[in-house]
Amino acid sequence: MKNLLVSIDRLGDFDEIVDVRTPLEFAEDHIPGAINAPVLSNEERVIVGTMYKQVSPFEATRVGAAMVARNIAMHLDTLFADKPRNWRSLIYCWRGGKRSGSMATWLNLIGWQARQLDGGYKSYRREVIERLGALPGRFRYVVLIGHTGSGKTRLLQALRAAGAQPLDLEGLAAHRGSLLGALPGRPQPSQKGFDSALVETLAGFDLAKPVFAEGRPAHRLDHPARCAARQPACRVVHGSGGAARGPHRVFAAGLRASFRRCRLLQDAVVEAGRAAQPRARGALASAHR
């Protein structure tokens, strides 16, 4: 089976990446772009794990193998039914063990070119942590400073539309801080999921161009990407027209408190309207039945 193992640096060599862990594991974090084809459901994994500890490893493996076989058969009839003869897939589980090995074996027996990620998700997670320590310090940042409601996020969106490189940490976290809270209609990712999204975003940036990000007033200011990566803060100076030390520049955004309150109220009304649309459509559909 060792000839089926590939390292984490070969992710781009495959047509599709298949995560065979449980839906709960997949939801917490996964390799970007991967699809979920669990060989054990959330409940089945609990059953097998409990049997392993309370009955015996042999009985747990026997029962688990039957569950895995049924689930692989289901995926062959559904998720993989339309895959072409030359489909090349990379399979991974938690640490590159029996779950991914079982799926890779059957796909290869059928005639597809399937490979197993050496080390599984754990090797990917190590790669993410290593890149979080290295990537943020390679860019020059332009930090937009301003109080809540001053329009920093809108400016980031306008910069993106103009072709610039904005790092929208609130968007990646699906959360706008303690005052405004979670973004409506979007689940907040786990810490691991946020780390993966941050690395993927930074990896897509051009090192020759600056990265725009939001900041807080001077007493709360931190280097945005390093903060997310749990690294020491960069030295930056806040002020109207003030200069920042080093390559990082800071723009101060100042708006009157009354204007900020009006903008926040306007955004809240818009978001409430968007949230009400699905409910309204559902009510209309029920009325026509």
Among candidate residues 114, 37, 35, the one with its CA nearest the CA of residue 72: 37
Show pLDDT as tens, one digit a residue, over the chain (289 residues): 567 899 999 999 999 999 999 999 999 999 999 999 999 999 999 999 999 999 999 999 999 999 999 999 999 999 999 999 999 999 999 998 999 999 999 999 999 999 999 999 999 999 999 999 999 999 999 988 877 777 888 889 999 999 999 999 988 998 877 666 777 778 899 999 999 999 999 999 999 999 999 876 654 444 445 444 443 333 333 333 333 333 354 454 454 554 455 554 455 545 555 555 565 556 556 655 5
Number of other CB atoms surrounding residue 193 within 10 Å:
18
Hey, which residues are catalytic here? 93
> Which class in CATH covers the domain with range 138-255?
alpha beta
Listed by start position, the domains of the chain span: 2-128, 138-255
Among candidate residues 256, 190, 34, 220, the one with its CA nearest the CA of residue 124: 34
For the segment(s) 2-128, the CATH number from 3.40.250.10, 3.40.449.10, 3.10.180.10, 2.160.10.10 is 3.40.250.10
Question: What are the start-end ranges of the H helices in the chain?
Answer: 23-28, 42-54, 57-77, 98-110, 120-134, 152-161, 169-173, 177-180, 191-203, 224-228, 257-288
Q: Do domains 2-128 and 138-255 have the same CATH topology?
A: no
Residue 195 tokens, joined: 């780390």
